[in-house]
Amino acid sequence: MLTAKVKWAGDMQFVGQSGTGHAIVMDANVDFGGEDSGMRPMELLLIGLGGCSGMDIVSILKKKKQDIRDLEIKIKGQQADKYPKRFTEIEIEFIVKGKNLSEDAVKRAVELSMEKYCSVKATLEYSAKVTHSYKIENIE
């Protein structure tokens, strides 16, 4: 069981604290009465997806003895036009940098995360079509 609490901090500012003890500020933009002092709640879902899959891919590539040096993940989320504006489509792109990386190993790591391990992806894909891609940059 995961837990969290969220507390109103005035106007549209909220402080979220996770059960593991870490905190984050959320806020709305000025048009919605906020001051843009922190992330939008929907952005947290995209970042969670990136973190979850990133942890999987680093773990798997290290187990496969791949010399991974950098991993950057770009995520885009499309919402429905009408309220409640759930996510309907999410694109995630993995840019993997390393030395002599095997394309097979990277492809397999991405697939294992997307299809077997990533809890955030497995949750979001019930609402949104999640598509993924990857790029490999081998460095000298």
> Which residues from 114-133 bind a copy of itself, rule CB under 8 A?
116-128
32 binds a copy of itself, rule: CB under 8 A? yes
The strand pairing partners of 133, in sequence order, are 93
Q: Which of 35, 41, 103, 111 binds a copy of itself (CB under 8 A)?
A: 41
Among 31, 84, 100, 140, binds a copy of itself (CB under 8 A): 84
Exposure of 21 by Cβ count < 10 A (0-12 exposed, 13-18 middle, 19+ buried)? exposed
From CA 34, how far away is CA 49, in angstroms rounded? 25
Task: For a copy of itself, give the closer residue by CB, 1 or 100.
Answer: 1
Among candidate residues 85, 88, 107, the one with its CA nearest the CA of residue 96: 107
- Say how many residues touch a copy of itself, by CB under 8 A: 72
What is residue 30's DSSP assignment?
A: G
**Residue 48 near a copy of itself by CB under 8 A:** yes
Q: Which residues pair with 17 in a beta bridge?
A: 5, 23
Shortest spacing between CB 98 and a copy of itself, in angstroms: 11
Q: Can residue 8 be called a binding residue for a copy of itself (CB under 8 A)?
A: yes
100 contributes a contact to a copy of itself by CB under 8 A: no
Separation of alpha carbons 121 and 53, rounded Å: 8
Asked if the bond preceding 41 is cis, omega within 30° of 0, the reply is: no
- To the nearest whole angstrom, how small is the minimum distance from the Cβ of residue 108 to a copy of itself? 16
